[in-house]
Amino acid sequence: MRVTLVGTGYVGLVTGACLAQAGNLVMCVDVDAAKISGLRRGEISIHEPDLPEIVRHNIAGGRLLFSTDIAEGVGHGEFVFIAVGTPPDEDGSADLRHVLEVARAVGQYMERPCTVINKSTVPVGTARRVRDRILEAQAARGVEIPFSVVSNPEFLKEGAAVADFMKPDRIIVGVDTPEAAERMRALYAPFNRSRDRVIVMDPESAEMAKYAANVMLATRISLMNELAGLAERLGVDIEKVRVVIGSDPRIGFDFIYPGCGYGGSCFPKDVRALKHVARQLGYDVPLLHAVESVNDAQKKVLERKLAEALGEDLSGRRIAVWGLSFKPNTDDMREAPSRALVEAVWNRGGTVQAHDPAAMEEARRIFGTRPDLVLHGDPYQACEGADALVICTEWQVFRSPDFPYLRQCMRQPLIIDGRNLYDPAIPRQAGFVYHAIGRP
């Protein structure tokens, strides 16, 4: 099948590469000429396991093409995916300008029937707006070419996106006609072999399902972090409580790990977007407000623990930070808890010595070059002469450190673990003062 992806960001590139891997002829279109030039050479600007190999393999096989020409892309695809960004406005609403610009271009350049698929995370009702924009562009040309608009939200986890696409747990297809549903089934057939994962519904329900899923997961995280704060004040170990809670099959263990808050491009944005929709409708959503406020407060917990241990003034202090990305196996630092910590250390006069296995370049891009930020290629180097080690991201490489050697590296034996990576007895036996989340 001939498939076009408009937008080569995280969702668009993963979707395009995986569809090409299944044998489709895929063209990815983006307005960023430098990015397209790099992609043609097989250069990937995001950190995602297995993605570079799949992109290069399919470029070599002639199944994955890149272009800056939207007209060429629309002409290429019998399936045209809209996978552009929907950044939040100041009021929390999703900015649909790019989505609607692509819709207009589809109507302007299409010469044959096609299926237009919205892969971006968008508010309920966007499929109708996309359809209207295509019809307006066709009317301006004086043509009537049949097309379908499908809502097909992505459920890709950063750090496991390729695996999620190749072996999905569900494929949501929001359509208005049975014919569009069958075309989508055919497109996704290579990823739907062992059992039927396609769930067909109306476009509005599909759009809502994406927001509902992310808000549900964010709610679990905030609830667990609130319980952790209570447990800590009661002298209770939240990790033991977590095991009991997770053993209940109605709850399970996913997304109930206490920590220093959620970040990334999805949970914060989608919670705010759903709050905005509710506000427009005059419907009160106190739980969503609480999810966000608890998370905002949780991102300040590491700062509070650091101040309690070292004092309010961190002038002359060196703070080692392990982990800058918002989660492991990605370089994404959008709304990462580490950013709140780093800014707090600077505001208190301290210096940050940081290491992250993937996000060092992203940190340089965000923070620039400054004397109170030193980025190290080795986690132990980041701890040289440090007054405290703060763990913000649960990368695998941080899970079993050499505590005696770490103790030698540091000026003061203080660990503040924002991800509860260790049995508290182990660092304490090595001579560390150890603080975690929700543990006495």
Phi–psi pair at 169, nearest 5 degrees: -85, -20
Q: Do residues 424 and 436 touch, judged by C-beta distance below 8 A?
A: yes
Determine which one of 266, 383, 392, 409 is catalytic. Answer: 266
Active site residue 28: no
Q: What's at 33, amino acid-wise?
A: A
The CA dihedral of 383, 389, 393, 397, to the nearest 10 degrees, is: 50
Complete edge-to-edge strand list for the sheet that includes strand 373-375: 373-375, 351-355, 318-322, 388-391, 414-417, 433-435
List b or e across 350-370, with b for residues whose CB sees 16 or more CB atoms inside 10 angstroms.
Answer: bbbbbbbbbbbebbeeebeee
Burial (CB count <10 Å: 0-12, 13-18, 19+), residue 347: exposed
Complete edge-to-edge strand list for the sheet that includes strand 171-174: 64-67, 25-29, 2-6, 79-82, 114-118, 147-151, 171-174, 198-201
Active site residues: 266
